[in-house]
Amino acid sequence: MSKTYHNNYRRKKKKKWTFEIIIALAALLMCICAHSGAIDPRHFFPAPFLVLGFMPMLLVVLALLLAAVIWRRWVALVPILVGLLISLPAIKLFIPMNTSENKPPVPADTTLILDVMTYNVLAFNYNEPLLSNKPSATMKLILDANPDVLLLQEGSCRGLEWSEVPSLKPYISQAYARYPYRYQGTEGLSIMSKYPFTTVPLGESRQSHSALGYNREQTGYLARAYDMQLPNGKQVRIVDFRLQSYHLSFGKNMNVRVSPDEKPSALERMKRSFALRGNDAVTLRQAIDNSPANVIVCGDMNDVSTSHVYRVIRGKDLRDAWADAGQGYAYTFNRHGLKYRIDHVFYRGDLTALTAKRLTGGYSDHYPLMVSFDIDH
């Protein structure tokens, strides 16, 4: 009887602590995911996957927190609260909770506010037969939002002027009248602006490269800068960029491959993407270091907050406009069920982010971000 009693007691004790052990492991994994961006993926390939796992792990831990409270497992709250505290910097980047009380005052003079939008427009769906001849919902979204400056990625349509693109024709007169200052880059980095600017290519023009195993038959720039004169006399450099995609699907267009037989696996494509983004982030950061004090950096990073690429580009001097002026979790990529914010707006100098919004609509696989800046400083 005594031996049976002790065995049952040990089994009950082990079962009693199973929930706490699961919670401790979940909290530990969440902390690892929150800080894995400190590891260069070129040196440790799993690191970026851990970064992408942060938000799912945060949701798991919050669900476990609710379960612990309902079941009154108070000891289990300790690792959860410690894990949330350690992960707090990442939580603030992904889910900022800015309120009207802590936001800076909005200038009464609207000429002292600069609205900047960054938007990967997917070539205005020029390559999609079902959408290429329909009035562009993407351009309509832009015109309805009415930013002062629009930075585009994937804004080229096989070398055509925007006025020649069928889907844009219903809106092109209005767009050109509203934005008299424009530039179309062959690599897709383009701008539409209400204010004059000079174009400044960053780095050397180069042949495009891809994780799919081919070189595209075009040359372009990793990033492009625009030195702009604002209404209050202030000058600001706006940098537009787009980094390497994950390439979750393989390209079907044979004229962009080195060989029809070369087809890297999905895992190999992602490894190449991480490496290419890492190299390009260093190059872009060098260009930012050589830019004037007042700079706004916008673009499609194809990576999330807290990632290694994000850390490299942001450095110690740039501020994240969404973290400063956004509200809650907002994803900008809207395909394949991947709800991540991979488009970003950074800034430094005597500028202040007043509001940051994620807009929805359009036909692109991205949603745009629009940030209002106070330029009266």
Q: CB–CB of 346/312 below 8 Å?
A: no
Rounded Cα distance, 202 and 217, in Å: 20
- pTM for this structure? 0.90
According to the model, what pLDDT value does residue 253 have?
47
Percent of the chain topping pLDDT 70:
86
What's the whole-number mean pLDDT along residues 9-25?
74
- Region 7-11: what's the mean pLDDT? 53
Q: Which residue type, as a one-letter code, is found at position 360?
A: T
Spatial separation of the C-alpha atoms in residues 179 and 116, rounded to whole Å: 13
Task: Tell me how far apart the alpha carbons of residues 204 and 338 are, in angstroms, rounded to a whole number.
Answer: 33
CA distance 333 to 212: 20
pLDDT digits (tens, 9 = 90+) for 333-362: 998 788 999 999 999 999 999 999 999 999
Contact (CB, 8 A) for 294 and 376: no
pLDDT at 59 over 70: yes
266 pLDDT band, cuts 50/70/90, is: confident
